[in-house]
Structure 1
């Protein structure tokens, strides 16, 4: 009977150590990525955003894992945004309205991340994740309505006044945003990971492009980024959820 108990205890210990090994993960990560930033707002007819005016950007982040499925990260984006009516031939009025804007963008946001398959280096090489957070974006918006052709908008007599109102309206310098997104990670080595990510930012302003009343005041402006990057995992390895059995 004692021999059976010893065998059972040995099996439990072996299973526990194996399970622990399967969910060991480095505590910290740092990453860098390059991406394209896409503006969504009044100066594009495309619901997916102004792809003809997309801008490049750099994304940096540091991550601290909380357990095998959750982590927090601090995310920094350095990029620019642009929108231009003249980039679109349809509908034709955009060529005559001819609004445009540009702005540098520096965004800082703390985020919480979730991975359904976990963060373990011994887990699947390909793993999805999702994230959400709050952030603050620094902008310096430069808008231009000098190309507006009033003769093409005779039926809208109030449009010139609405343009004047917009140009007199102060544009946001610091803009609160809510980043939401998802990504895919591919582990090259236990320490090195490739990732691709979609990061969508909801804003609370219709003046991201500098225009509202003269365009579509019913909808807020937004932007998002598509990026690909590399992540380095480091720090003391933690064993989540299944500590080894001790006598």
Structure 2
């Protein structure tokens, strides 16, 4: 699946670059225009705390909102560029995502991890329309499918929920990165992960012309990240000695299911698998975009 996404992204970027060079020369500056927009989206994540250990697997019940503001510049009959700032949340919970009766999911159910992560994202993408418009904005097509790809930087901060058996207040969300739950903060642990990361956004949508000033679009976009720690789960369990605080031990080893008779000391022994370290985490944003077109100022010709 990850190879398929990589091929799709490469194709989108190639199409955008070729089309930009060919069409920009035939599109006068008088026809170029800007627009501003808002978006209301649904946000999901693909990672270690999902029903199945695969990219397409996610819980619809874990969907959380995402909102965004954007600025778009139309450069050519098929080409636009968009800058977007968005805020949203992703969540995951082994107790709800993994079926204890499924042999393939029992490991994740027993692991009993949970998290939520608020994400701030700033992105820049190129948009390629599948239907071109060689006229001005007033005569743009009514319905236009499009694809996009680009680059983004995002800031995240995974947090875990303390249960009734935790070392701090029940119901409190605690930042997980400072705890070093996989022993990252001990000598030789290699340091913990960064909270500011890059991603590659890509996807597609369909845009509809409401009137001369407004467009509305339905869009879906994937974010290929380069971190496996959106959920604070990646590699193996570490020894208790590498988790110096009660909270680090709670989230790193001791999220127990004692009431179900699980030998948790054995389950979380050092070097036992905690996450799937060969896969990076993803998140997906699906929603509605409303854009307002800023009518370009047309300079009148000067006569002498």
Alignment of 1:7-18 (within 5 A): none
1: CA distance, partners of 2:280 / 2:185: 17
**What is the aligned partner in structure 1 of residue 59 from structure 2?**
50
Q: Which has the greater radius of gyration?
A: 1
Deviation for aligned residue 1:166: 6.4
Q: Are 1:178 and 1:201, in contact at CA under 8 Å, matched by a contact in 2?
A: yes
**What is the aligned partner in structure 2 of residue 194 from structure 1?**
216
2: CA distance, partners of 1:215 / 1:147: 24
Cα deviation code 1:32-86 (max 9, x no counterpart): 1101110100100343323221110102110011111111110111111111111
Alpha carbons of 1:203 and 1:143: their partners in 2 closer, same or farther (altered >3 Å)? same
Structure 2 residue 27 is matched with structure 1 residue 36:
no
**What is the aligned partner in structure 1 of residue 287 from structure 2?**
227
2: CA distance, partners of 1:89 / 1:200: 23
Q: Are 2:83 and 2:123, in contact at CA under 8 Å, matched by a contact in 1?
A: yes
TM-score, normalising length from structure 1?
A: 0.74
What is the alpha-carbon root mean square deviation over aligned residues?
Answer: 2.9
Q: Are 1:68 and 1:118, in contact at CA under 8 Å, matched by a contact in 2?
A: yes
2: CA distance, partners of 1:93 / 1:76: 37
TM-score, normalising length from structure 2?
A: 0.61
2: CA distance, partners of 1:87 / 1:111: 35
1: CA distance, partners of 2:288 / 2:223: 17
2: CA distance, partners of 1:217 / 1:61: 34
**When you count strand as a share of all residues, which structure comes out higher?**
1
Alignment of 1:51-200 (within 5 A): 51-90=60-99, 91-119=105-133, 120-143=137-160, 164-165=182-183, 170-200=192-222
Alpha carbons of 1:145 and 1:212: their partners in 2 closer, same or farther (altered >3 Å)? farther
Q: Which has the higher contact order (CA 8 A, sep 6+)?
A: 1
Query: How many residue pairs get matched?
Result: 205
Unaligned runs of 5+ in 2: 1-26, 100-104, 166-179, 236-273, 299-304
Alpha carbons of 1:167 and 1:93: their partners in 2 closer, same or farther (altered >3 Å)? farther
Unaligned runs of 5+ in 1: 1-19, 149-161, 239-247
Deviation for aligned residue 1:92: 3.0
1: CA distance, partners of 2:163 / 2:234: 16
